[in-house]
Chains A and B, each alone.
Chain A
Amino acid sequence: MTAGDEDRLVVDGLDVRVGPVGLLHDVGFRLRAGERVGLIGESGSGKSLTALAIMGLLPEGLAASGHVGLAGTDGNLLAAGDARMADLRGRRVSMVFQEPMTALNPLMKAGDQVAEVLAIHARRGGSGGSGRDRDRRALDLLDAVRMHEPDLVRRRYPHQLSGGQRQRVMLAMALANEPDVLICDEPTTALDVTVQAQMLDLIVEGARERDASLLFITHDLAVVATVCDRVLVMYGGRIVEAGPVQQLFTAPRHPYTRGLVASSDLDAVDAAGRLPTIPGVVPAAGTFPSGCVFRTRCERATDACAEPPPWTGQPDDGHACIHPYDDAPATP
């Protein structure tokens, strides 16, 4: 893959290993300007790891290889030093984490945390004005994420805020420096349903206003359908299917995607009144089968699946399965 004019983020052949154990294999995708892409899969499929690898924040002992390119910056981000990555983080690429309870410094006031993100890059960039300007901008940012009484909230510590308020603070921090790429790692999983919907609106709106590309990591298919244009399905550290939201949900081709879609349909029950599930559990890292990683849980698997399945179709619209379901809409 080479970066086109519109590509904001290009990930190509991304492998992550810890010692001899491979955690991500040949992960590749691209985010175009203003595009919203979902990354879905069960826990342990490598979604968060992909995000951390892009950010250059992999835990110690994990080694990434491959290529991560960001529009407007030269070379491979995986090969960039930490000083250079720190300059890009929060300014060009920023991230919202899953747990608003733990992702804010417990000893810093909310407003100070937002202002700090402004200060980090103001100092590096040389422009940015005084601390008072930053405090005012922090207030504006809190207002922009539709925080009630932002002037009150900014003087509070995280433990005095609700989950939804904290997540709004996180979003304000992530959007503070107008990033080109916003990565959201399950940003609504820890919130209750009513707050979830508001958060999703804010994320979509925030990304759209800034023309930022969005990589949205979740295991909630309903959320993906609300937020994203395109979807990448991950399993066992590989992308097993990619496609537009509509098509992927109505006519999943990879048996794993089909299983995911089926198990999120709460109306479909079998004769015993049980919801459909994907048999088995996600194997521990390093214990995935050779060839197709899904074959041990797949009802369509044959001996041929012992060979790694090639990618079929376009990079943005295709799958890695030799026994795909046909294009006929599967579930109404």
Chain B
Amino acid sequence: MSAARDVVDATGAPVVAGTDETAGVANWSLWIGGGLVGLVVVMALVSFAWTPYDPYFVDVTNRFGGPSPTNLLGTDQFGRDVLSRLMVGARTTLFVGIVSVGVAGVVGTPLGILMGMAPAWLHRILLRANDLLLAFPALLLAIMFAAVFGPSTATAMVAIGIGTIPVFARIARSGTVQVMSSEYVLAARSAGRRGVRLAVRHVLPNIASLLLVQASVSFAIAILAEAALSFLQFGTPSPIPSWGLMLFQAQSVLAVNPGLTVWPGVGIAVAVLGFNLLGDGLRDRFDPRLAGHQ
């Protein structure tokens, strides 16, 4: 959660989109992060059209096959092709990220804007309520959901999404408070703008860059959470390929074939690092004054 907190802190500065100051300075976070994320995305997209083998195809005669020209990353304890499962697992990973960040953004953003535009007393109450939810661990919520609704990718996504709502609400709130005190909102109000249309036309576009940065960071957290849940058997059930689940299955044969843990581990690391760097890069892009603070 620490990455999310950092962005919360970052909202002390004006929300300005598309600054020119960064022009000419290489934004390595953005490019490397974008590259890593792109790698995962390409892998997931290609898996829809083509994988080296059927990721569910069990070939017991070919268990624990090491890397070979026919199975580039080898085979697991059921003889399934690791590369194929890794590619389909990228799909699961991105899907979980998109849905959980989507849930959090769609619910959390309006809540946060509402908070920021509400009268002071209501603002205070909502903010405290939000802090209370923020303190509740998302992973615990997801395990509760899995216990009640049964473990599945959908349960995990929704639970992670709900757990991330307060993070988005908080970001949207602090951005809104700042935008609401700006002169252009005063000017819009002096022209007769109010309520929902003021929020949609003037507030939302001006906090969009903040939300984008938060989405990228939350995406990384969601990927990690899904991997953890699947590893603990509270997420994606077998035999659907998921990096967390692959890691779990690999660790049961760690003594026999330690190499199997490497690839899902690398996948998770690349995706999480990619989205975190992308988030940092986007933040630097939108607000160069915060560059190098962390």
| Interface of A toward B, CB cutoff 8 Å | 55, 57, 60-61, 82-83, 86-91, 94-95, 97, 99, 102-108, 116-117, 120-121, 124, 170, 173-174
Contacts and interface: CB of A to CB of B under 8 A. Distances in A.
A57 B189 contact: yes
Given A60-B119, A116-B201, A106 B184 contact: yes
A82 B194 CA distance: 8
Contact of B190 (A87, A94, A105, A121): A94
Nearest to A104: B184
Secondary structure class of chain B's binding surface, majority of residues: helix
A-side interface mostly: mixed
27 contacts: A55-B190, A57-B190, A61-B120, A86-B193, A86-B194, A87-B192, A89-B191, A89-B192, A91-B192, A94-B190, A97-B183, A97-B190, A102-B183, A102-B184, A104-B184, A104-B187, A105-B202, A105-B206, A106-B17, A106-B184, A107-B17, A116-B188, A116-B201, A117-B192, A120-B192, A173-B191, A174-B191
Contacts of A120: 191-193, 197
Shortest 4 CB-CB contacts between residues of A and residues of B: A90-B191, A90-B192, A102-B183, A95-B190
Nearest to B205: A107
B252 interface: no
A49 B206 CA distance: 26
A99 B187 CA distance: 10
A83 B189 CA distance: 11
A88 to B, nearest CB: 8
Interface in B170-223: 182-184, 186-194, 197, 201-202, 205-206
A79 to B, nearest CB: 17
B245 to A, nearest CB: 43
Nearest to B194: A86
Interface of B: 16-17, 119-120, 182-184, 186-194, 197, 201-202, 205-206
A89 B17 CA distance: 29
Contact of A103 (B16, B120, B183, B194): B183
Contacts of B202: 105
A105 B184 contact: yes
B77 to A, nearest CB: 54
A50 to B, nearest CB: 14
Contacts of B16: 106
A115 to B, nearest CB: 11
A99 B183 contact: yes
B206 A106 contact: yes
A269 B202 CA distance: 50
Given A60-B120, A86-B192, A120-B193, A103 B206 contact: no
Query: Which of B187, B201, B202 has the largest count of A CB atoms less than 10 A from its CB?
Result: B187
Contacts of A107: 17, 205-206
B192 A103 contact: no
A103 B182 CA distance: 8
Interface centre among A57, A99, A103 (most CB of B within 10 A): A103
Contacts of B192: 86-91, 117, 120-121, 124
A95 to B, nearest CB: 4
Contacts of B197: 120
A3 B189 CA distance: 27
A97 B201 CA distance: 20
Given A82-B194, A107-B205, A102 B189 contact: no
Contacts of A57: 186, 189-190
B80 to A, nearest CB: 50
Contacts of A82: 194
B191 A117 contact: yes
Q: Which of A83, A105, A108 has the most CB of B within 10 A?
A: A105
A57 B192 CA distance: 11
A105 B188 contact: yes
A84 to B, nearest CB: 11
B120 A90 contact: no
Contacts of A108: 201, 205
A51 B151 CA distance: 60
Most buried by B among A82, A88, A116, A121: A116
A173 B184 CA distance: 12
Contacts of A174: 191
